[in-house]
Chain A
């Protein structure tokens, strides 16, 4: 099912080619790294690669849906940070982790709901709203936890978030992610809800005239994004065994870069989740290789930024090429 939907859903040849190009590039980067990068191919490093990429991947799921519908959420990293900070603060208060996690998830829902209500009820642009809440949520995180770092979470949780299955390259956390990925693929490409998102992103007014409840769909998406961001915040704090107010700072840049790299059109209406996830792991693999080669963290951010620009540019260039070709073909049905 996923295969069919991934290849068909774009319905637009230029973008489809971009999707497969990113997938192919991922394979090339992986093969190259296996062959030529010392320390890349062993199971431990691969499990690190996957584990470190999972936060990007988790948030990329709802972000893909959001960008397809023509919106964006830049507050995700701050929501993740806030979620981790509240988790640390409540843990210091002596609450059990089983009680804390639902509270943090609920907090994420509220964060997403606030974004969604500001965008849908007041009609504000999501870019501006979520830059605002990016700052606000991070600020609240700092108020909640100050400069503390909470590290003494229960061992079985830490092990689950950072461990791997035996000596394989598969982190435990990959399994629930795969379940969420499957749900997201089906939701975007096979349900009426997902279909409506493509229509909303491509032409919101026409979607409204087709009886699609645009505001409601968007509110659901922002709320889901908040939920997934807080889940990521919890995972982050356990994975790195450290809850700090500045956890996941800048993660939104990686998520947006990866999603756009994967061929999701920034203007909405086009793209596939398969492409987005290929973009996520391409970015993750590049970051892993750069770390192995002792490229500094600052330089890695530069690379991410350049990739972001290229990924916006790339599909546009492809589109112009394919339009030039289609222009010759489309003449078979001149419009007037």
Chain B
């Protein structure tokens, strides 16, 4: 735990004793960070630790109140993101924003395409320049294909290529792997290693600790806006890092309770939605946590959407306690006791500029009613009750949910559904993008719910989560269930084999 030293090669970009406050809140306090060429450096910390503020300070969005940003050892003042970009600093966000109708090449050279005579765009030169960038990154992407329909992983590659086209020397990657599958992460890491060899400095942010250990050389940890440590990862364990982040020893991350499964709660039989998933059959019993694993695009989310009634199915049957559900009708699924915590909390789980109280209240519009009118008192106590039970951190229950951190937003989504008293709880990526402390809380909650007799179906791309929490693991591959693996036999190898279609299930 030493302050970053200044011996050896000069850092390409550094922060020195930087502080930044918003009103009364000190988002960053005397934070220092050094990024060296050819280094992948991790930035660790819980939600709210100040990672975003730090990134925005490096990217020229925020100006520090005190302290300095040093570029090649000399103090600089960025007056906006453009200044930072011109200085060779690029930020790759978790969800890139490309123009869907433009080609990859056009997206990369937007507004600065090579020109021919009379100002006409030189498509050939644009194409060739893009192809050269892709070759430098070691990926195969057709420069002329439109951005629409690219996976998030491919979109990130395009953003990285764009950054290179600006001669970026520093790449800041803000949770780039949150929405990627295992093989996509591997490819991204390949690209990152290539960049490292070419002398770029990379600042890497991820909630997945194993990724930090895999790709990074050093780590800087923040806690509550304060610098905790900058140190080599070599010799550290995941527990060490977690202790730095949360400032204490963390309780078990996967507190799975052993529960004797009860009778069948949710029964899915030969469910088919043409072109999406085929012939899917499974049961979930009371007291059971069933994991649904597979690669992104295997049809897991789509099965959950169909079961809950968001999408229709073409054939098959879904029943709860032996009673068949109507297809395409979430309200009847809710009435039967099914709840779905969707994968995208911002787009599907919450109305972002509605209050915590009203968001939780949305699932109770039919029940907290007196004489045909919304019973405000009952609505408030229902919302307060669940917000408190799940330990949502908020100032006032009437605050809009977009003022909350990602982990607390996810708790509001859970509260909203637990308030309905579900018998069958489907959670889709319940801990995506939330910090390790909150993650452990969510796991404890799911485990407790199962112990209380709720049937839980958990979709997750986080393999350790599946292995740590599930009594049984169902695996999907290309729209079909390819394996059902009991807890005792479930390992990364058996699940991945089935997920990639290599298993003789």
Contact = CB atoms under 8 A, between A and B. Distances in A.
Interface of A: 11-12, 186, 190-192, 195-196, 198-199, 202-203, 205-213, 269-270, 327-336
A258 B340 CA distance: 40
Contacts of A192: 365-366, 369, 374
A213 to B, nearest CB: 6
Contact of B47 (A205, A270, A336): A336
Contact of B405 (A186, A327, A331, A333): A333
B48 interface: yes
Interface stretch (B8-16, B344-352, B477-485): B344-352
A209 B349 contact: yes
Given A209-B342, A332-B22, 19 more contacts: A12-B400, A190-B374, A191-B373, A191-B374, A192-B366, A195-B374, A199-B358, A199-B362, A206-B350, A209-B349, A210-B362, A327-B22, A332-B23, A333-B405, A334-B25, A334-B52, A335-B47, A335-B403, A335-B406
B235 interface: no
Contact of B334 (A203, A211, A335): A211
A209 B340 contact: yes
Contacts of A199: 351, 354, 358, 362
B50 interface: yes
A310 to B, nearest CB: 23
Interface in B234-248: none
Contacts of B50: 334
A335 B404 contact: yes
Given A11-B400, A203-B351, A333-B395, A208 B330 contact: yes
13 contacts: A11-B358, A12-B400, A195-B361, A203-B352, A206-B347, A211-B330, A212-B362, A213-B331, A269-B354, A333-B48, A334-B405, A335-B403, A336-B406
B377 interface: no
Given A327-B22, A331-B23, A333-B395, A211 B406 contact: no
B353 interface: yes
A38 B482 CA distance: 84
A213 B51 CA distance: 40
Contacts of A330: 22, 403
A275 to B, nearest CB: 17
Given A11-B355, A192-B365, A192-B369, A336 B48 contact: yes
B400 A212 contact: no
B22 A335 contact: no
A323 to B, nearest CB: 11
A192 B53 CA distance: 40
Given A186-B373, A333-B404, A334-B52, A207 B362 contact: yes
* Those 4 A-B pairs whose CB atoms lie nearest each other, nearest first: A331-B22, A192-B365, A336-B52, A210-B362
Given A190-B374, A334-B52, A208 B23 contact: no
Among B22, B25, B52, B354, chain A packs the most CB atoms within 10 A around the CB of B354
A266 to B, nearest CB: 15
A246 to B, nearest CB: 41
Contact of B48 (A11, A212, A269, A335): A335
A206 B351 contact: yes
Interface residues of B, number: 49
B337 to A, nearest CB: 12
B416 A210 contact: yes
B398 interface: yes
Among B48, B51, B330, chain A packs the most CB atoms within 10 A around the CB of B330
Contacts of B330: 208-211
Contact of B22 (A12, A198, A269, A334): A334
B372 interface: yes
B61 interface: no
B48 A202 contact: no
A123 to B, nearest CB: 15
B380 to A, nearest CB: 11
B27 interface: yes
A195 B366 CA distance: 11
A334 B21 CA distance: 11
B363 interface: yes
B289 to A, nearest CB: 22
A332 to B, nearest CB: 5
A100 to B, nearest CB: 33
Interface string B191-218: 0000000000000000000000000000
Given A11-B358, A334-B52, A202 B347 contact: no
B40 to A, nearest CB: 20
A306 B167 CA distance: 48
Contacts of A334: 22, 25, 27, 48, 50, 52-53, 405
B221 to A, nearest CB: 15
Contacts of A196: 362, 365
Contacts of B361: 195
A202 B51 contact: no
Among B49, B331, B355, B362, chain A packs the most CB atoms within 10 A around the CB of B362
B209 to A, nearest CB: 17
Contacts of A12: 353, 400
Contacts of A11: 354-355, 358, 398, 400
Given A202-B353, A209-B340, A269-B353, A328 B362 contact: no
A211 B53 CA distance: 37
B24 interface: yes
Contact of A335 (B23, B400, B405): B405
B253 interface: no
Contacts of A269: 351, 353-354
A206 B353 contact: no
Contacts of B52: 334-336
